[in-house]
Structure 1
C-alpha cells in the first residue's frame, strides 16, 4: 500500500514544526525537510522535536559541501532527537550549486556520492570503538585515528536515501541506498518507464532485492474546490523546474518540450510568479497533483504499485506566505481524509 508522507512548510521554524505536527496527526507516515533556504539538519531537529511517531527525513541534505564525518555526526544526533525515526536523505545537487555556491569540486559525482555513503556507514559502525577507520578513495578517503565517540549511538543502520533523476545516480541508489527520492514533478509514467528500470539495474548490480529500496516519489500538491485555482498555485513550481535546461529530456518525455521552451524564452530575471503565467495547464496537469480533493486523490492512487511512498508538498514558488498557508492546510486535510487521521 502506498505510504502518504508530507513536506511541511513554515515561514518560521516554529511554523514548520507546527505543520509537521499537524501532518503527523493527519496520518502522514513521514515528514521531510529540504535544504535550500534553511539548513536541512536544523529543520529536521525542529521537526523531530515537534513529532513523536512519524519518520523525520531530509529530502534532501546536500552531500558534498559537508564532510562525510560531519554528515554522519549530524545524522546520529538527529536520530537521537527523533528517537530512532530519522532518515538521512542525501543528494548531489547540481554542478553550479556545488562549484559556485559552495566551492566544491564537481569531478565524478557518482564516485563522490558512493564514497560519501560508504564513509558515513563506516563511521556509524566504528565511531564508539576507538578503532582506526582507514578508507581509500578517489574523492573521499577517510583516515581517523585517536577518536572515540563517548556518547551512545542509538542506531548504526540509519536509513540512507539518495535523490536522483539521472540514470547513473539512480542506479547508484538502487545499488547501495535504502531508498530513492525524486524531485517534485515525477509522474507515474516517468517513474515506471525511466526511473524503475535504473533502480532495478542498480539492485541487480548490488545483489539486492526490490524490498531493500524504498521508492519515494515527490509531488507538488495543490487542492482546492476550484480546480483552476489549484492549477495556478502549482504553476510557479513547474516554471521553476522548466527553466532548467538539463530537464529537457524530462519535459520531452511528457510531450512538453515546446511548453518548456516557452518558459525558457520568458526566463530573463523573471520571478517564479511571473514565470507561472507562461506555464500551460497541460504542464501543470501532467506534472503536479492539482485539482479538487477527489481529483487529487485519484491521481495519488495512480502511484500505488509504482512507488512505495509519495511525498506531498504544497506549492510555494511565486506564492505569498498567506497563499502557501491555505494550500498547506488543504493538503494536510486531504491526508487526514485519505488516512482517517491514523496517527
Structure 2
C-alpha cells in the first residue's frame, strides 16, 4: 500500500514546504487541497523542491473551472514535475459552486463525467495537433490553433482521480478516471457495500476490471504516542466527522449505518452556527466506524485490516496544517507491516 501525506495549508509556501517534507520522510505522494490557496500553484512550487514524490491536487474543484483551463494547468504540472502530477478532481457541493464560485450547478455526476472526457479530448488535441471535437451537454471545445497548442507532453498525460461519496460519482470515476479519492467521510462498510460496487459498474462499461485502478482509502486516523496525544487526536477527529456529517450530501453514509437522525441534528446546529456543540453528538460508535483510533502500531494494523484488500493508497491527513512528521510513527508501522 502506498502512503500519501496531506492536509490543509494556509499559504502556497506552507503547502510546498509540507510536500518537500513528505518526500524527505519517504511518503509516496502528497496532496494539496483547494481551501485557502490554489493547489495548482502550490504544486508548481513543490515540483521545483522535490524529485520523486507524486504531486496530487486533493482536490481541485472542477466545477469552479472549465476543462480547458484544467487541461492546460495539469499539462504544465506534468511537464514541470517530470511526470509526477496527479489531477485529483472533486465536485464540491451546490452552495459553494453557486454562491462561492458563482458557477452553474446541475447533474454533478453527469457533468463530472463530461468534464473528464473533455479534458482528455483536449489532451488528445495537444498530442495530435488536431482541433478537439468535443461537444457535450455542458462543455464544448472545438477550437485549438497552433499558437495555443503546447504539443505532446513527453511524460504522457497525468493520471486523473475523482473524489466521490455517492455511488453515481463513484461509477463515473470507474468509467472515465484512473482512480478514486475516497472521501474521509466514509466507512469500511460503505466502501465495501456502496463505493466499490459502483466503481466496478463504471469499469464494466468500458470492459475493464479493477486492475490498474487506484483507490485511495478513507483517511480519518486518530493516533498518537501517548494517551494525551490520542485523546487530542480523537477530539479533532470528532470535530471533522461532525462537520462533514452536517452536510446533506453525505447523509447516505450515515443512513447506511442507521444514523440518519444524526445528520438532521448536526445540520440544525450548523445552520445556527453552534459548531462547538456538534462534536459531542459523535458517539464512540460513530467515531470508530469512521476513524482508525489507537497508538501507531495498532492504528497501522487496523488500517491494513480495513482497507488492505481494497485500497492501493492511504492518505494520513488532519484538519490542521500538513505535518508529515506527525504521522511518521504510523507511517513507519505501516511500512514495517507491508
Fold match (TM-score > 0.5)? yes
CA distance in structure 1 between the aligned counterparts of 2:295 and 2:258, rounded to whole angstroms: 24
Higher mean C-alpha deviation, range 273-282 or range 160-169: 273-282
- Give the structure 2 partner of residue 306 of structure 1: 310
Q: 1:24 to 1:145 in 2, by over 3 A?
A: closer
**2:235 maps to 1:236:** no
The 3 A distance-change label for structure 1 pair 209 and 44 is same
Cross-structure match for 1:320: none
1:280 matched residue in structure 2:
283
- SS where residue 219 of structure 1 aligns? coil
- Equivalent position SS for 2:120: helix
- Paired position in structure 2 for 1:121: 120
Distance in 1 between residues matched to 2:139 and 2:186, nearest whole Å = 31
Q: Which residue in the other structure is 1:339 paired with?
A: 335
Match of 2:325 among 313, 318, 329: 329
Deviations 1:143-177 (A, max 9, x none): 11423425662334211111111121111111111
Instruction: Give the equivalent residue in structure 1 for 2:40.
Output: 41
Partner secondary structure for residue 131 of structure 1: coil
Partners of 2:264 and 2:131 in 1: CA distance: 54
Determine if the alignment matches structure 1 residue 111 to structure 2 residue 110. yes
- Deviation at residue 37 of structure 1 after TM alignment: 2.0
The alpha-carbon deviation at position 214 of structure 1 amounts to 0.8
Which residue in 1 is equivalent to 2:160?
160
Would the aligned equivalents of 1:111 and 1:138 in 2 still touch at CA under 8 Å?
no
| 1:187-233 per-position Cα deviation (integer Å, ceiling 9, x unaligned) | 22211111111100111111112113211123122322213332112
Superposition pairs for residues 49-88 of structure 1, below 5 Å? Answer: 49-88=48-87
C-alpha displacement at 1:76, in angstroms? 0.9
Q: CA deviation at 1:279?
A: 2.6
Q: More displaced, 6-15 or 217-226? A: 6-15
Distance in 1 separating the partners of 2:152 and 2:196: 38
Gaps of 5+ in 1: 317-323
Q: What is the distance in 2 between the residues matched to 1:307 and 1:298?
A: 14
- Superposed CA RMSD: 2.3
1:244-283 to structure 2, matched below 5 A, reads 244-270=247-273, 272-283=275-286
Q: Alpha-carbon deviation of 1:295?
A: 2.7
How far the C-alpha of 1:273 sits from its partner, in A, is 4.4
Judged with a 3 Å threshold, the aligned counterparts in structure 2 of structure 1 residues 262 and 129 are, in CA distance, closer, same or farther, namely: closer
In the aligned structure 1, how far is the partner of 2:78 from the partner of 2:274?
37
For 2:131 and 2:328, the matched residues in 1 are separated by 47
Question: Mean alpha-carbon deviation: is it higher for 89-98 or for 105-114?
Answer: 105-114
Distance change >3 Å, CA 139–CA 303, structure 1 → 2:
same
Contact kept, 8 Å, 1:231 with 1:281, in 2: the verdict is: no
- Inter-partner Cα distance in structure 1 for 2:280 and 2:287: 12
**C-alpha contact (below 8 Å) 1:187/1:286 kept by paired residues:** yes
User: Residue 218 of structure 2: SS of its match in structure 1?
Assistant: strand
* CA distance, structure 1, for counterparts of residue 73 and residue 32 of structure 2: 14
User: How far off is 1:264 after superposition?
Assistant: 3.1
10-19 vs 61-70, which moves further = 10-19
5+ residue gaps in structure 2?
none
The equivalent of 1:176 in structure 2 is 176
| Structure 1 residues 23-42: aligned runs within 5 Å | 23-42=22-41
